[in-house]
Every structure is written in structure tokens, then in C-alpha cells.
Amino acid sequence: MPNTTDSPADLRFPEPGQTREYPVAGPAGRLQVALSMPREALRGLLLVAHPHPLFGGTMDNKVTHTLARAAAAVGYAALRFNFRGVGDSEGVHDEGRGETDDAVLLARRLSALAPTLPLAFAGFSFGGFVLLRAAVEVGEVDVLTVAPPLRKYVSLPPPPRPRGRWWVLHGTADEVVDYEETRDALAAYAPPPRLIPVSGVGHFFHGELSVVQRTVGDFLA
């Protein structure tokens, strides 16, 4: 179990190899975050976002958790957070608008802990959509999205292309976010992101989380 603190202004790095939960003051109230540290030397920062909260998504989703663990394994501190209205995060679902504001705030808070280190984003499903929107405001940041719904389950237009590297990991048998729809939507971006199809794999990567882990390692290498 991660350690916790009740101070909303006390975001700081835990001890190496540890995960600590913090309440962070956000635009719509308190946000529940979990910050995980690598065991070895810190060499980068990763903001991780979870799938759609109205369909059971939380920061403890197994794909989201795998993104954070894989980042820590290659020297990155990983910050996961619950979207508005999920777990101990206050507020209500805002269809990606307020969630983008929260992600931008947390990205800046995380980066302030180690301003000289690179910052990257990794989001699963709806979380990927949110982080693509946030990346435009944060600046040149690399973004890894896993099965992002660029047209489905979102009322906002497709996000602009991030200025940094953009990779998309997507199962070809995704039963939630259609792979071919994503492939076609990505073709409209210039330049298009790097699309990594995973043959026969569904939305939640059942039995294939090692693919997510390897992709994170390659992305952050």
C-alpha cells in the first residue's frame, strides 16, 4: 500500500522505490495523485492518465498502473492521478475540458520538482485524449497514447498534434476503440504519429501487459 499525506501543498518525491499518495489542490477541488519513484537514479518524469471515469476508469486501472511501473523501471518518476469525481478526487466529470486543466496543472507541479529533467506523458484510452490536449498547453512534450479515443466517447474535436514525439499503441482487436477508426484518424495528422499495432489484442491488453511495458521502455529510452 502506498504511503499517504493529507497536506494539499506537500507534493514531493518519495524515497527511491516507493509510491506515495498526495492530495493536490486543483481548479475544481482536491485531486488524488500517486507518485512512484524508481529504485535507481532519477532521469525523467512521466504524467500518467487513466481511462474514462464514467466507464469505471481509475488511476489503479491495470494498464495505467503498468505504464507507471514500466516508467519507474527505466528511471522515471511516474505521477498517476484520479480524474474529477473518481476516488478521492473532488469535482464532477467535465468531458475532457476540466480534466485537461487538471493535467496541465499536475504536469507543471511535477516538472517543478525537477525542472532540468525531461517530462513525458502516457495516457490510456480517455486519458490519452486528455493528455494530447494538455500537451498543447504544456509545450514540447513527448506523448505515448494507448488506444486513444480520438472520435469516440468524447464530445470535443480531435486534439491538435503534440509538438514532441507521439506514439500510439493500439490492439487490432480493440472492442472499445476501433483500431481502423484510430488508424484513419491518425492519418489526418501531419506528420502522423508512430502507430504500433498489436495483432489480436483487445482494449485492456488482457494477457499482453508485457507489450505495454516494453513499449514504455522503448519510448522513454
- Looking at the structure of the chain, the number of domains it has is 1
Domain assignment of residue 153, yes or no: yes
Domain assignment of residue 212, yes or no: yes
pLDDT in single tens digits along all 221 residues of the chain: 455 444 444 799 999 999 999 999 999 999 999 999 999 999 999 999 999 999 999 999 999 999 999 999 999 999 999 999 999 999 999 999 999 999 999 999 999 999 999 999 999 999 999 999 999 999 999 999 999 998 766 678 889 999 999 999 999 999 999 999 999 999 999 999 999 999 999 999 999 999 999 999 999 99
**DSSP tag of 41:** -
CA 19 from chain centre, in angstroms, equals 17
208, exposed or middle or buried, with CB in 10 Å at 0-12, 13-18, 19+?
middle
Domain assignment of residue 1, yes or no: no
Phi/psi at 184 (5° precision): -70, -40
Determine the pLDDT at residue 158: 87
- CA–CA distance, 145 with 41 (Å, rounded to integer): 25
- CA–CA distance, 91 with 88 (Å, rounded to integer): 10
> CATH code at 50?
3.40.50.1820
In which domain, by residue range, is 59 found? 15-220
Which of 121, 50, 45, 132 lies closest to 87 in space, CA to CA? 50
Which of 118, 121, 188, 200 lies closest to 160 in space, CA to CA? 188
Kindly list the strands in the beta sheet with 3-4, ordered across the sheet, starting from the edge strand earlier in the chain: 3-4, 19-26, 29-36, 76-81, 44-49, 119-124, 142-146, 166-171, 194-198
Domain assignment of residue 115, yes or no: yes
